Each structure stands twice: as structure tokens, then as C-alpha cells.
Chains A and B, each alone.
Chain A
Amino acid sequence: MLTLQNVNAGYNGIDVIYNISFSVKEGESLCIIGPNGCGKTTLIKAISGLITHEGSIKIDGVEINKMKRADVAEKIAVMSQISTIYFSYSIYETVLLGRYLHMKGRTFKEPSVRDREYTDKCLKAVGLFNIKHKQINELSGGQLQRVYLARTLAQEPDIILLDEPTNHLDLKHQTELIDFLKDWSKYKGHSVIGVMHDLNLAIKLSDNILVLDKGNMAAYGNTHEVISSNILNKVYDMNITEYMVDSLRQWESYNPYLNINKLRKVN
């Protein structure tokens, strides 16, 4: 689905990541981890086309450089981090914006029935349907994160890129988000690529892990193999295993509001 080969990228002509190669298959979740400044966000930006790159980034065998912007956006959606809200919109209006590409050609028309239904389904999937008319500047950080998740889902992409998606979320909401994304990646063979700081959450979400160190690939492979190697201690310059807890217990005893089944009913 997504393949990177020898990708270099950076800012103002100075590379920050070097020779990155990996691939993500349908239904796979990949987490990118590494210490601050190792190039995680740069890699996400290169994949999403926000910065230029050298090397090859292909979606379904086609170079993203050769694809139209709209075609890339149909395949890849980026779940944004919370930023300043300059002008407030309702939750529904914000999520409906995710249908932008689907609404092309309807400049002066109302959204189609499908666009409205799909928006409602995404709102139900993240548990915000009942407050969909509330203004987003009245929401907590966690609720706003769910609004952005719903908007990302409304884009109907094949791949979701996430840059530290659990910022602003408490433990319960972190675990629910990760579970939801895990479900979503298995649903119709979608893929999730996430930058994570929390290793427990990364382990929970990912099938494979890519470890970056100073812009280079320090490790890449099956999550449990990478985590159980000593490479993390070296990359983070500390005894990581000492701080790792068995996160699985965290996922058992809560009642999630994020529900992939509500999204499944759409199609």
C-alpha cells in the first residue's frame, strides 16, 4: 500500500532524515518512535507531502510526487494536532469539512445525503453525535481531539497518519483512541502510521515499529522483536525496560465510547 525507499527529507535544504525505507501493508499499523528531534514528525510530513523529499514514496505503486494533491488526500489523511482555533465552527461543520474532496463540484449546493450520513456516522463512531451542534471552542482538549479524529475518518482515506495523537488525552481516552485505531486498521484493510512518544501505547497499536535515531533507522520490524531488543536502551540512552509496564491490563476494564462498529454500518 505505502512504500518508502531511501527517503531523505528536511528543511531549507538540510536533511533531517536519511535513507528511510519501509513499507506498510493493508490492515497494518506502524508506529514511529524515537527520542525528541530524531525526525519522526519530519518523516510524517514527508509522507503527507508537506515537505519535499528525495528517494521514493509510493502509494499503491505510484510516486506521490507524480500524483495530484487531491489524489494523495483521497489515500492519506493526517490527523492534526490541536492548534489555535481562530474562528469557531460547530462540531458537525468541522467534521463535514473532512468530506471536502467528496463534495467537489457541489460548490453552491448543500452536502449530499451520503456526505451528511457519513459525517453523522463518524460523529457516532467517536461518541460526539449527541453534541454535534456544540461549538468547538467550547470543547475540552480530549473532545477536540475526537472531533479531529472524526474529521480524518470523514475523509475516507486508506491510510491515516497521526502525529502524537494522544496529546491532550487522559489515560482512559488514550487507550480508547488506540483501540479504535487498531480496530480501524483491521477494518477493510486500512493502515495506520503513528508517531508516538508513549511506548506502551505504541506497543498496543502497532504491528511493526520503526525506531529513529538522529534521523536514521535504528530498527524496524515486528513490534515485539524490536521492543525486546536492546536497541531502545541505546537509542533513548536509558534503561527503557525498567519503565515499561505491562500495558495490556489497561485495556480490559473500561467501556469505550469510540466504537468502530458504528462506522462499519456506513457501507
Chain B
Amino acid sequence: MKQKYKIILSIISSIIVIMMGVGLGSIKVSPSHIINIIINKLFSMPLHADIEGATAVSIIWKLRLPRTLLAFLVGGAVAVSGSVMQSVLKNPLASSYTLGVSSGASLGAALVIVTGFYIPILGLFTLPVTGLAFGMATVYSAVKFAAMMDKNLETNTIILVGMVFSLFVNAILTLIMAVAKDHLAQLTFWQMGSFSLKDWSSVIILFPIVLIGVIVIQSFSKEMDIMTFGEEQAFTMGVDVHKVKWSLLSLSAALTGSAIAFVGVIGFIDLIAPHVVRKIFGSNHKTVIPMSMLFGGSFMVICDLIARTIVSPSELPVGAITALIGAPFFAYVYFSRRKGL
């Protein structure tokens, strides 16, 4: 199939998945009603006569739409971040988590939960902002330390230092969890990730961060293509490798950090989405970045839909669903493509 058609099909699939995420649940709402409710809220247009009362409108507008959009943004952000990390570090298993962003964010969140630390101006956003700050600080410290050890900032040095920092921060987190047993359930739940009870405020904050982050990353797509062939080659072809590497590592960590700060640690999508996208669309980052956004976002929406509906009215941790569905799906895509099926 031509690349253009694959892209169109992906966009249509993503819209369908978002509609499913919004429409399915204890009360089912058709796509036309969803669109009608959105138009009603945005432009004060009248509702269809057959939309039942204020409940459906409230469920769609106040609960499911922000939750689904947040899931899409978070999934897309971590998938794009994973694509960047894999290319920059030339390691198919690399992600922002490799550099300690999730460990740092978890530590920040744990400190807020355990100490009850609260910044009045941030209100309820104290936890995500502290998580983001700690996640970014961990990555920054790891890369800075790697640069001190190796001024060429070699990939292996970054990965090794990132892993050491990540393990070290995790150890502190384990100590906190061991001491603060009263908060153990809350801390564990945060680390499993969840989209429940998220409203528009999270979407409104995360949307511009993800949009700007992805556009800036997209502007580096040629550099990422060249750097996958090796940094020395990229340097001799005129790429400012040091600057590009720092920029991409920072942007990638910021994307993941912002995303998980709102919903907790959700893994696996950052690893599988870029691989699946490369298998379908090839390795050119001009396509890989936007398609990772679509695929990661759609996949997260499906996982969240399953997490909240399969044992309704209870919810499963979405992080577990991403791995449960993602692992066999990834194996299917990877091996079937490899055999040329």
C-alpha cells in the first residue's frame, strides 16, 4: 500500500478509536451524538432531540472526552519520546525511562504524597508539577554527569549513566515506600498509572506542551535520520551532533515527564509504538514521529477503554493493560512482518 494511503488510514483509525473511547462504557453514545454534544458545548448549537437529558452530555463532556483526549495525548507523547530516544541513542530498547524520567517522577510524586507538600499557587497540580520537575532533574543530572565523564557524550555512556541514576533514584523510592507504609497503596497506584477522574484542566495544560514538543521534534527529523547511521557520520555531514543530541534528549524527557506527571507511570507504549510504526511506515522520521503520535495515542485510548470497561464498575491499572495487550501485538507485528507475511 502506498505511504499516503497508509497515513490517511491511520488518521481515520485514530478518529474511530477516539470515538470508541468516548462513546463506549456503561452508557453507549453514538458518534453522531458525540459530535453533536461537542458542537453544542463549543458553539452553543442546540442538541438533538433524541439525546437523553443532561446525564449523557455530562458523561461525554465532563468525563469521557477529557479522559480519552488525555489518554491520546499521553500515549502519543510517550510514543514520540520513545522514537526519539531509540534514534538518538541508537538503541531499539531505549526510552526516556532508560534515563530515569519515570524513577525521578515517581520519587517526586512520592515525596508529595508522603509529606503532604503543597504549593498554594499550583493547588492540585503540585503533584504532577513536582513529578515533572523530579523526572526532568533526574534526566538532566544523568546526561550532565555523562557529559562530565565523556565529553563526546557517547551513547553507551548516556545509557549506562542513565541506568545507574535510575536505579539509585528507585532505591530512594523503595526506602520511602518501606518507611511510609500508610501511603503504600497510594504510591503503588500512582506508579501503575490511571486516567480516572481526569478533567479538562489536565488536557488544557498537556495539549500545548505535547503539540509544541512534537512540532519541534519533527523539525529535527532529518538530523535524527542521519544520526541513526552514527554520530561520526552525522558530524561529517554537517550535523551539530552535540547540540542536536542535547535538544532531542531534553525534548524527549520533557514530553514523557509531562505526560506521566499527570497520570502516573505507564510503560511499554514508548517501546512498542516506534517499532510498530517503523515496520509499517519505514524508518524516515518525517513519518515516524507523527505516526508514533497517532499510534501511541490510539493504543493508549484502547488500553484505557479496556481498563475501565472490562471489570466495570471497577477499573484495572492501565499500565498493566498496555503490557498485556502490547506484548503479543508487538510480537505479532514484528515477526509477521519479518517473515514477509
Contact = CB atoms under 8 A, between A and B. Distances in A.
Interface of A: 48-50, 69-70, 72-74, 76-78, 80, 83, 85-90, 93-94, 97-98, 100-101, 103, 107-108, 155
B252 to A, nearest CB: 16
B213 interface: no
Contact of A70 (B222, B225, B238): B238
Interface stretch (B68-76, B276-284, B308-316): B276-284
Given A50-B235, A73-B237, A101-B238, A89 B222 contact: no
B50 interface: no
B229 interface: yes
Contacts of B25: none
B92 A86 contact: yes
Given A88-B283, A107-B219, A76 B236 contact: yes
Interface of B: 86-87, 90-92, 218-219, 222, 225-226, 228-230, 232-233, 235-240, 278, 282-284
Contact of B233 (A78, A89, A90): A78
Contacts of A98: 237
A69, A85, A89, A107 interface centre (most CB from chain B within 10 Å): A69
Given A80-B230, A108-B218, A108-B219, A86 B90 contact: yes
A93 B228 CA distance: 13
A23 B107 CA distance: 59
B239 A100 contact: yes
Given A80-B229, A83-B229, A97 B236 contact: no
| CB-based closest 4 A-B pairs | A73-B238, A87-B283, A78-B236, A70-B238
B87 A87 contact: yes
Contacts of A50: 232, 235-236
B92 A69 contact: no
Nearest to A100: B237
A108 B220 CA distance: 10
Contacts of B284: 89, 93
Contact of B228 (A49, A69, A87, A103): A87
Nearest to B284: A93
Contacts of A103: 222
Nearest to B92: A86
Contacts of A88: 282-283
B237 A89 contact: no
Contacts of A73: 236-238
A69 B229 CA distance: 18
B226 to A, nearest CB: 5
Nearest to B226: A97
A89 B218 contact: no
B237 A155 contact: yes
A70 B278 CA distance: 29
A101 B226 CA distance: 12
B216 to A, nearest CB: 10
Given A86-B92, A87-B283, A90-B282, A101 B228 contact: no
B4 to A, nearest CB: 13
